[in-house]
Amino acid sequence: MNDRAWIEEFIEKNQDQFVKANDDIWSYAELAFKEEKSAARLESMLKDWGFEVETGVAGIPTCFTGTYRQGSGKPVMGILGEYDALAGLSQEAGVTEKREREPGGAGHGCGHCALGTGSLAAAVAVKEYLRETGKNGTVIYFGCPAEEGAGSKQFMARAGAFDGVDFVYTWHPATVNQVEAVHSNAIMGANFRFKGVSSHAGSTPFLGRSALDACELMGVGCNYLREHVIPEARIHYAYIDTGGTAPNVVQDHACVRYEVRAPYVYQVKELFERVKEVARGAAIMTGTTMECELAMAFTEYLPNNALASVADACMREIGAPKWSEEDYRLAKAYLDTYNEETKARIRRSAEELYGERAEEVLARPLDSEVHPFDPAKIRLQAGSTDVGDVGYAVPTLNLQVATACVGNVGHTWQMTAQSCSPLAHKGLLTAAKAIALSCVRTMEQPEVMEKAKAEVARRNGGKYECPLPDSVQPPLDTY
């Protein structure tokens, strides 16, 4: 039996336990840095399969690794898993109407329940393949919390978690099947805390110094700043503390969170300093003080082309998930829940990807093919991910496998519902096969590993540099 057939047979034989883990983690729906049940569930599975588990990696309680070594232990293969949910996206599983499980609760609207379990299935398959064949190697499952929050992988990379790893594969639930050909934005975020002086807003407002005014003036300044940044840059904000609910009390404290994005981390650092200057100006104008609490930053992600050449071939061998007629009907029902504006955008995107087949695909809206990877067509994507930091520390590649209907919008109730349905189940098992096969094929090609490492060296200058200073610790309770 060849490597592909062995991996496929192993994952299919054990699929029930991986699907059950997905559904359990989906039901926990735990937010960033609070994924205690989800992490414990995955750790327990790794121990059952003979992995050595280390918890509390990088000072984060829900961050862990599972390691299996055989023979010389070389090469060292890494697989990333995530398992955090999103606030406000509680939703019943598999139903095609908005129906909360828990009012105001969290939900897996990005499918990280499938990401974590699919990656774990791949790690187990690689481990068992090494044991079965007697080949040398190490496989490490990296349990990475809080991707939807302040991230963890940059703290892990800074702590040396990826030192000595030869290559890393991961995946993300998607609407298509392909090696992800995107360049994600770098990002940096901080809480800006203003402190002023309280006073009676009616009788003695002149004695007060409003921290809330400072936040609002910072917003005005940043709005003007937007005209004078590169077109690809983004500036986001959200009020964390408005200083109270009494209009007749001058607010002596307030906090606003800003995040800035740009294609490269050096651009983000430059833009962030300009935002800080705006905040300082707002403090001067209002007679308040300002403290900038830097909490998160991700380096941009770029696919590693050497790894992509291997994974692209492996994905084509594995193929797309095998959808049933019931799967197609379910996907169409989800697609039909979107409003007309969103459907029009989905249709345009389908026409770009599928051409004259767009109408046929939208009638049965599940991606049933593997789209080839073309390094010449890597495009800038507005989003950000802490996977980028792993890619600046060690050769890293992200795959995409369909777990939802064509055109599905992430971070929605529709995504939460589909993440605990047969669509996600088939997607995560397919991803596990593709990642496991990619690991096995890469470990057999030293020349690919060397090319992959050379790519990283060209990007990072020979050494990973975390975008956060050592003084910034994981914001476990503040972000």
pLDDT digits (tens, 9 = 90+) for 64-76: 999 999 999 999 9
| Cβ(187)–Cβ(301) below 8 Å | no
**Mean pLDDT for the stretch of residues 238-258:** 97
- pLDDT band of 116, cuts 50, 70, 90: very high
Pairing of strands 64-70, 52-55: antiparallel
- 3-184+300-460 with 186-296: one CATH topology? no
Instruction: Report the interhelical angle of 3-13 vs 305-318 (nearest 10°).
Output: 70
**Mean pLDDT for the stretch of residues 17-46:** 98
Q: What is the pLDDT of residues 170-201, one digit of tens each?
A: 999 999 999 999 999 999 999 999 999 999 99
pLDDT value of residue 43: 98
The residue whose two tokens read 């090319």 is 451
pLDDT of 1 above 90: no
**Mean pLDDT for the stretch of residues 190-215:** 98
CATH class of 186-296: alpha beta
CB proximity list for 456: less than 8 A, separation 6 or greater: 304, 391, 392, 393, 394, 395
Q: What is the pLDDT of residues 336-381, one digit of tens each?
A: 999 999 999 999 999 999 999 999 999 999 999 999 999 999 999 9
Round the average pLDDT of the chain to a whole number and report it.
97
pLDDT of 479 above 80: no
CB proximity list for 186: less than 8 A, separation 6 or greater: 261, 262, 263, 264, 265, 267, 268, 297, 298, 299, 300, 384, 388, 467
Q: What is the pLDDT of residues 292-317, one digit of tens each?
A: 999 899 999 999 999 999 999 999 99
- pLDDT band of 282, cuts 50, 70, 90: very high
pLDDT value of residue 478: 78
Q: Cβ atoms within 10 A of the Cβ of 102, count?
A: 10
CA-CA-CA-CA torsion for 308, 310, 314, 316, nearest 10 degrees? 60
- pLDDT band of 382, cuts 50, 70, 90: confident
CB proximity list for 125: less than 8 A, separation 6 or greater: 7, 10, 11, 432, 433, 436
CB proximity list for 404: less than 8 A, separation 6 or greater: 111, 173, 174, 175, 331, 334, 414, 415, 418, 419, 423, 424, 427
pLDDT value of residue 394: 98
**Residue type for position 264:** Y
Cis upstream peptide for 475 (omega within 30°): no
Q: Cβ atoms within 10 A of the Cβ of 361, count?
A: 19
HSE, CB side, 13 Å, CA atoms: give it for residue 43: 19
How many residues are present in the chain? 479
| Cβ(64)–Cβ(164) below 8 Å | no
Sheet holding 186-195, edge to edge: 234-241, 253-262, 186-195, 289-298
pLDDT value of residue 36: 98
The residue whose two tokens read 């044991």 is 131
**Mean pLDDT for the stretch of residues 272-297:** 97
HSE, CB side, 13 Å, CA atoms: give it for residue 339: 1
**Mean pLDDT for the stretch of residues 425-448:** 98
Per the structure block, which two tokens stand in for 293? 């609490």
Kind plus residue range of the DSSP H or E element containing 330: helix 325-335
Task: Give the DSSP per-residue string, 164-200.
Answer: T--EEEEEEEESS-EE--EEEPEEEEEEEEEE-B--B
Distance CA 277, CA 238 (A): 18
Per the structure block, which two tokens stand in for 343? 């459907």
pLDDT value of residue 68: 98
Task: Give the DSSP per-residue string, 411-425.
Answer: SSHHHHHHTTSHHHH
Distance CA 39, CA 465 (A): 28
**Mean pLDDT for the stretch of residues 452-472:** 96
- pLDDT band of 136, cuts 50, 70, 90: very high
Q: Is 13 exposed, middle or buried (0-12, 13-18, 19+ CB in 10 A)?
A: exposed
| Cβ(205)–Cβ(250) below 8 Å | yes
Fold of 3-184+300-460: Aminopeptidase (3.40.630)
Q: What residue segments make up the domains of the chain, in order of their start? A: 3-184+300-460, 186-296
